[in-house]
Structure 1
Amino acid sequence: MGSLAHGLVLRLGLLADVVVATALLDMYAKCGGRVDEARRVFDAMAVRNVVSWNAMVVCYGRVGGGGKDAVELFRRMLRDGSCSPDELTLASVLSSCAGMAAANEATQVHAYAVKRGLHGFLQVANAAITAYGKAGFVREAKQTFAMICDPDVVSWSSMISSFAYLGLSKDAVHVFERMLRHGVQPDGVAFLGVLSACSHAGLVEEGLQYFLMMTRGYSIDPNPQHLACLVDLLGRAGRIEDAYNVVIKLSCESNADIVGAFLGACKMRGKVELAKWAADRLLCLEPSEAVNYLLMSNAFAAAGAWNELAKVRSVMRHRCGSKVPGCSWIEIGGTVRTFVSNDVMIHQSTEMQQMVQLTISEAQKEWNKDTTCDDPILVREWQ
């Protein structure tokens, strides 16, 4: 239907109408993230208003890996000068910065918001908190939160999630308790943040209390992420049987994330039989997901179940085949650089390899100073 509508717009010569063209662009953005079609409509527009720019920025932000394009489009919008970004533009770009953990870009966009007097909008401030948190800028996240006159539940949740993401579990719990004292009713996102914090800090009883508070006190139905946190919480505390009961009694064995969390708990505690059960469930749920096979392999390797490990590796080779490699990125000198494993096509790859070899060589020299070990296995590890 979308393509038919696009064809009709072209046939009637309505693409020159900024309202019609923007609606068409927005349609592509919301139809499964058809970014290429949306961008073609955007580039064909003779006149663009702030809504047009926002629609394209939001479209990039919705697509995994589109954050870099969203930031670049924002810069182009500033250079174009035909219209000024509004609070929706800034919130969307900051969300994209959060997805890339791009601290420099987030700081620049937030500074622009302050300069324009738009930092007071809740959606801008909340997005800035998340962006700073993902980039590891705790002080800036706290300062942004402190500048909000009347923080809403999203503001509190953003701060809680930022602390939890950075492993600052006690701070996350402290902010959650402050939110309750301020009379703000927590939502599912806030509970997810505090449950994650409790899980990573080993605060089992506190985590269980928060889970009961969520389900009984606030009548919030737990989603798979909450249940995965609960399973992980129990698993980290060594309560594998309790974690198993959660999976079975709450009918979670049909959710790959929850079963994966349980498998991770089995790996941590060396529970081979339960790990086999979880592995079989994952094979049924997502037979082509390579990451599940890696989880299984790690669990069996940690338990010394080498026969099971060999079987998993064999099945993985037959079922998964080749996979699209994941990418990582890092911000250096204001530029976000993207790379994948064994990528020899990127700029300066030769220099990077030389630097890695130099680092290994220097480390080996230091190691040789401190030990006279001539174990051939250890020597091979260094080489």
Structure 2
Amino acid sequence: MKYTVEIWCLWNVMLSCYAMNCLAEEASGFFKLMQKENFLTDGFTFSSMLNSCGTLGACDLGRQIHGLAIRLSFDLDVLVASGLVDMYAKSENIDDARKAFDGMAARNLVSWNTMVVGYGLLGDGEEAMKLLIGMFQEDIRPDEITLTSIIRSCSCASTYCEIMQVNAHVLKNGLHAFVSIANALINAYSKGGSIAMALQCFSTVLEPDLVTWTSLIGAYAFHSLPKNSIDTFEEMLVDGVWPDQIVFLEVLSACSHAGLVNEGLHYFSLMKDYHILPGLEHYTCLIDLLGRAGLLDEAFNILNSMSIEYSPDTLGAFIGACKIHGDVNLAKWAAEKLFEMEPNKPVNYTLMSSIFASEGHWHDVARIHKLMRDRCGHRVPGCSWMEYAGTIDEVPAKI
């Protein structure tokens, strides 16, 4: 059956609409219908389908489309090849993404960015930096997406030198005006151990957005500077920035680690003024805050009055507080709930066992050990990670 140009365009527009609206299953069905109707596909069709596969994480279907693209020689198309890299990267098949990238006849900024973002999502700063060097060697200038992804993938102490190199390039080329780059640098320097550099990056932003403020508030909390976190949050409110759940979580976390009970209760209550419903993480921070301060009865009351079902983390925070203050009865109540939610997690039984042991309840210790053996089975030995000469090795524990 022959199709006019108008009908051909309509088919491709329909497929593109499904893909752009993240309706991956509908796009897949439409693509199969096109094949059944012997519809002549083009690079645009392949790109739309690969985008859908990446969104859905349907790597198996993506491989089939990859094979069809090779048979029809569409894999030589830059747009299709970039789609293949993106599909494999989103499906977390970074090796296949790299093979598709290395096999491209020609690479543009989009294809480089796709690969960089893929490594960035995996936190592989070393490979991301190698790609950045490769871009310079091929005289391709990195843009906002490239640099933001590389900075985020380098957000740890072991890649601090790389962060400084990227920051130097950013400053040299006047790219610090991009808020996304500044936000990434604040996080990277904070996790790398330099709150001073994080603050310096914040000061370069002319109009910080919510993410920028949240990054700095989180940086102060990460470095155990709760008062700075609270002061920055108040400054943000004065600046007219409307807070969200994430920034409130950062402030509550800072209050929890500093034992600022009144402040924590104030900010938890303040969420209602901004029409924000507390989530599980907010309740966990509040329980932890009250528990650390020895206000176990208040924490217990909040647990029982929560508008949502508590999580294992919430119960774990409460049990930890009970251990600190030696309240076996409340810990036992929470442990029974926790065992029901996570019956196969050894750490829960270990925590409760240590509480009973600290109070000399040896019969209960034996009972918990038996429960752990019956429900958890084989115990996986612990291990440590050590960085040496730029590589991170796993060191198994001696058992």
CA distance in 2, matches of 1:42, 1:104: 27
1:151 Cα deviation from its structure 2 partner: 0.6
Q: Give, as a single letter, the amino acid of the residue that structure 2 aligns with 1:246.
A: I
1:213 Cα deviation from its structure 2 partner: 0.9
In structure 2, do the counterparts of structure 1 residues 123 and 320 end up closer, same or farther at CA, with 3 Å as the change threshold? Answer: farther
SS of residue paired to 1:268: helix
TM-score, normalised to structure 2, is 0.77
CA distance in 2, matches of 1:117, 1:35: 32
CA distance in 2, matches of 1:316, 1:45: 53
Which residues of 2 match residues 280-319 of structure 1 at below 5 A? Answer: 280-317=336-373, 319=376
CA contact (8 A) 1:253 1:281 kept: no
Q: Give, as a single letter, the amino acid of the residue that structure 1 aligns with 2:72.
A: L
Q: Give, as a single letter, the amino acid of the residue that structure 2 aligns with 1:219.
A: H
Work out whether 1:129 is the aligned partner of 2:189. no
* Bigger CA radius of gyration: 2
Question: 1:69 matched to which residue of 2?
Answer: 127
In structure 2, do the counterparts of structure 1 residues 16 and 142 end up closer, same or farther at CA, with 3 Å as the change threshold? Answer: same
SS of residue paired to 2:155: helix
CA distances 1:243-294 after superposition (whole Å, capped 9, x unpaired): 2222222265552221222222222222212222322333332333344344
In structure 2, do the counterparts of structure 1 residues 102 and 22 end up closer, same or farther at CA, with 3 Å as the change threshold? Answer: same
CA distance in 2, matches of 1:286, 1:62: 29
CA distance in 2, matches of 1:308, 1:252: 31
Question: 2:18 matched to which residue of 1?
Answer: none
CA distance in 2, matches of 1:324, 1:62: 28
Question: 1:257 matched to which residue of 2?
Answer: 313
Question: 2:72 matched to which residue of 1?
Answer: 12
1:314 Cα deviation from its structure 2 partner: 4.4
Which of 88, 113, 118 is the equivalent residue of 1:28? 88
1:299 Cα deviation from its structure 2 partner: 3.8
Work out whether 1:339 is the aligned partner of 2:393. yes
Question: 1:51 matched to which residue of 2?
Answer: 110
Question: 1:154 matched to which residue of 2?
Answer: 211
In structure 2, do the counterparts of structure 1 residues 127 and 101 end up closer, same or farther at CA, with 3 Å as the change threshold? Answer: farther
CA contact (8 A) 1:252 1:258 kept: no
CA distances 1:124-170 after superposition (whole Å, capped 9, x unpaired): 00000001111110110111101111111110000000110111111
Question: 1:186 matched to which residue of 2?
Answer: 243
CA distance in 1, matches of 2:329, 2:360: 12
CA contact (8 A) 2:335 2:352 kept: yes
In structure 2, do the counterparts of structure 1 residues 152 and 25 end up closer, same or farther at CA, with 3 Å as the change threshold? Answer: same
In structure 2, do the counterparts of structure 1 residues 5 and 149 end up closer, same or farther at CA, with 3 Å as the change threshold? Answer: same
SS of residue paired to 2:297: helix
SS of residue paired to 1:119: helix
Which of 163, 173, 180 is the equivalent residue of 1:106? 163
| Paired positions, count | 337
1:53 Cα deviation from its structure 2 partner: 2.0
1:240 Cα deviation from its structure 2 partner: 1.3
In structure 2, do the counterparts of structure 1 residues 242 and 29 end up closer, same or farther at CA, with 3 Å as the change threshold? Answer: farther
In structure 2, do the counterparts of structure 1 residues 178 and 49 end up closer, same or farther at CA, with 3 Å as the change threshold? Answer: same
Q: Give, as a single letter, the amino acid of the residue that structure 1 aligns with 2:330.
A: L
CA distance in 1, matches of 2:125, 2:357: 37
CA contact (8 A) 1:156 1:175 kept: yes
Q: Give, as a single letter, the amino acid of the residue that structure 2 aligns with 1:167.
A: S
CA distance in 2, matches of 1:281, 1:76: 54
Question: 1:87 matched to which residue of 2?
Answer: 144
CA distance in 2, matches of 1:106, 1:306: 52
In structure 2, do the counterparts of structure 1 residues 219 and 339 end up closer, same or farther at CA, with 3 Å as the change threshold? Answer: same
CA RMSD of aligned residues (A): 2.5
CA contact (8 A) 2:190 2:219 kept: yes
CA contact (8 A) 2:189 2:198 kept: yes
Percent sequence identity over matched residues? 45
Question: 1:378 matched to which residue of 2?
Answer: none
In structure 2, do the counterparts of structure 1 residues 272 and 66 end up closer, same or farther at CA, with 3 Å as the change threshold? Answer: farther
CA distances 1:1-40 after superposition (whole Å, capped 9, x unpaired): 3233222222222222221121222222323x23233223
CA distance in 1, matches of 2:99, 2:204: 40
CA distance in 2, matches of 1:326, 1:125: 35
Between 1:199-208 and 1:305-314, the stretch displaced more is: 305-314
CA contact (8 A) 2:386 2:392 kept: yes
CA distance in 1, matches of 2:94, 2:305: 42
CA distances 1:192-248 after superposition (whole Å, capped 9, x unpaired): 11100100111111111111111x111112222212111111111111122222222
Work out whether 1:175 is the aligned partner of 2:232. yes
CA contact (8 A) 1:325 1:340 kept: no
SS of residue paired to 1:211: helix
Higher relative contact order (CA 8 A, sep 6+): 1
In structure 2, do the counterparts of structure 1 residues 245 and 289 end up closer, same or farther at CA, with 3 Å as the change threshold? Answer: same
Question: 1:223 matched to which residue of 2?
Answer: 279
CA contact (8 A) 1:103 1:137 kept: no
CA distance in 1, matches of 2:132, 2:331: 48
CA contact (8 A) 2:125 2:159 kept: no
